[in-house]
Structure 1
């Protein structure tokens, strides 16, 4: 599957989980585009699409610039365990609508290496001087 097809696959599965569409059965590279288009006629996929777009991990890849919106490079794990990245547009002020921008067409495959690291958290408090001294 292409990165865009993987995103469509994840969106379809999320829409099934939200009970917005019926379970389409097996989703393959050959039928994912048709299934996505068939179920996207009356906004059935809108909630699932926004959920996938907004629940992602930030990456450190360069992003395009816009005069009206901010942009981060992000990624999410797909149903097959692979990772796909895209540009997450946000901001725009009161009348902005960054979710309307086409974010799926520029999706790309990624590799991800995970490692657990130990961190140290420090909490400081101010020492109050003893007034009796």
Structure 2
């Protein structure tokens, strides 16, 4: 995966990678942004992208960064690490009640790159009860 991709193309690459993993196929790592757009469009034309798209959309880690909001849906900012190590973030929309359809909101077009510092910390958790 090359650095010449924008955040939306990076997410599309992640979706293609999930689909390739499920299909037990290899996805070239040196695709350009235009090639990613083309391969993603081919996947969409086959209607084979929905599960992989949902896997990526729902699979991010919460970032606690400010994000868009709506009076109709709940939202939170999330991010995922792309195969090249770059972090990309987006607004994860959910809720909306019985007739809500938050997955229909175009979340990829507003994606953005993030810097992430990962630290491992040891935590002691104590839970007390009376005997």
Common fold: TM-score over 0.5:
yes
Out of 1, 6, 16, the position equivalent to 1:2 is 6
**Match in the other structure for 1:114:** 118
Q: Is the 8 A contact 1:92 1:98 kept in 2?
A: yes
Matched, 1:48 2:52: yes
**Match in the other structure for 1:89:** 93
Q: Is the 8 A contact 1:24 1:35 kept in 2?
A: no
- Return structure 1 stretches of 4+ with deviation > 3 angstroms: 22-26
Deviations 1:11-49 (A, max 9, x none): 0010111229x6554532231111111111132111000
Larger Rg: 1
Give the TM-score taking structure 2 as reference length. Answer: 0.89
**Match in the other structure for 2:72:** 68
Matched, 1:37 2:37: no
Give the TM-score taking structure 1 as reference length. Answer: 0.88
Out of 70, 79, 99, the position equivalent to 2:83 is 79
| Corresponding residue SS for 2:34 | coil
| Corresponding residue SS for 1:40 | helix
Per residue, is there more helix in 1 or in 2? 2
In the alignment, structure 1 segments of 5+ residues that lack a partner are 128-133
In the alignment, structure 2 segments of 5+ residues that lack a partner are none
